[in-house]
């Protein structure tokens, strides 16, 4: 796989690298989007189920859906794209990852400097106390699950109609403003406010590189657009970067 020398030269260890990922990288691990026609479940669409109102109305149904999703994702593994991003965290002294994905695959690959801006479906939150915990059991032994205090637990994810966690959002904006190198992987760049991150980074003077299976709305904006599978492009790109540092 060929990369221009000018692109590789941008990936210096002194750079403040932020990686932004979306559903595309998880799709390569076999994680479905759970939206659109292919995401139908018991004749319900994701947009009908992933809402606070749906949970308040029928928490058992919503947890049955999430239990089903968790069962599918539990059978998947991080792909070479995830692994390459985890290695980037190890080799770049200034590294951060912002992901829109809730599947937890980046954590399983080894990333720790991560903002899961839409939450994580392996985490639960007490509706009374707001306490967040982890539960990796598949299937769940009790649906809907309950907190030790007796209140219902809900998936610790951002639903339609809910605002993003303000602390996570503020941290993400700060990272975007401070970075001088942004790698955008597998995102359609249409869901706000995350869709504005590449635009803002470019406006601040960062070098922006896109890795996507197809062209996206930001392809004409970025400094470099690499089309293809993240699981193929990212390991090759990282190999070139490390090779350039040793010469």
116 strand-pairing partners: 99
Residue 241's contacts (CB-CB under 8 Å, 6 or more residues apart) are 8, 11, 91
SS3 64: helix
* Nearest C-alpha neighbor of 118 from the set 21, 25, 202, 219: 21
Question: Which string of DSSP letters, residue by residue, matches 12-56?
Answer: -TTSEEEEEE-HHHHHTTT-----SGGG-BTTB-HHHHSSHHHHH
Distances, alpha carbon 189 to alpha carbons 20, 52, 79, 102, 175, in Å: 10, 25, 22, 17, 18
44 carries an active-site annotation: no
**DSSP symbol at 193:** T
The C-alpha atoms of residue 49 and residue 146 are separated, in whole angstroms, by 19
Q: State the Cα–Cα distance between residues 182 and 186, nearest whole angstrom.
A: 13
Separation of alpha carbons 93 and 15, rounded Å: 8
d(CA 30, CA 210): 21
Query: Active site residue: 82, 106, 118, 156, which one?
Result: 118
- Give the catalytic positions in this structure: 118
């Amino acid at each position: 796989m060929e990369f221009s020398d000018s692109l590789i030269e941008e990936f210096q260890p002194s750079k403040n690298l932020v990686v932004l990922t979306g559903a595309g990288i998880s799709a390569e691990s076999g994680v479905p989007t759970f939206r659109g026609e292919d995401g139908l479940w018991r004749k319900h669409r994701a947009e009908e189920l992933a809402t606070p109102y749906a949970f308040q109305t029928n928490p058992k149904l919503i947890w049955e859906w999430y239990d089903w999703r968790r069962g599918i994702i539990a059978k998947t593994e991080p792909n070479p794209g995830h692994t390459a991003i985890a290695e980037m965290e190890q080799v770049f002294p200034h590294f951060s990852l912002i992901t829109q994905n809730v599947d937890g695959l980046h954590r399983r690959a080894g990333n720790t400097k991560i903002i899961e801006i839409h939450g994580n479906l392996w985490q639960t939150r007490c509706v009374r106390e707001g306490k967040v915990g982890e539960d990796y059991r598949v299937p769940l032994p009790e649906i809907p699950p309950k907190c030790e205090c007796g209140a219902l637990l809900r998936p610790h994810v951002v639903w339609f109609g809910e605002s993003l966690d303000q602390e996570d959002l503020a941290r993400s904006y700060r990272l975007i403003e401070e970075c001088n190198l942004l790698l955008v992987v597998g995102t359609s760049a249409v869901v706000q406010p995350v869709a504005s991150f590449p635009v803002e980074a470019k406006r601040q003077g960062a070098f922006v590189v896109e890795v996507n299976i197809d062209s996206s709305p930001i392809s004409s904006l970025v400094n470099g657009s690499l089309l293809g599978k993240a699981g193929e492009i990212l390991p090759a790109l990282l190999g070139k970067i490390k090779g350039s540092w040793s010469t």
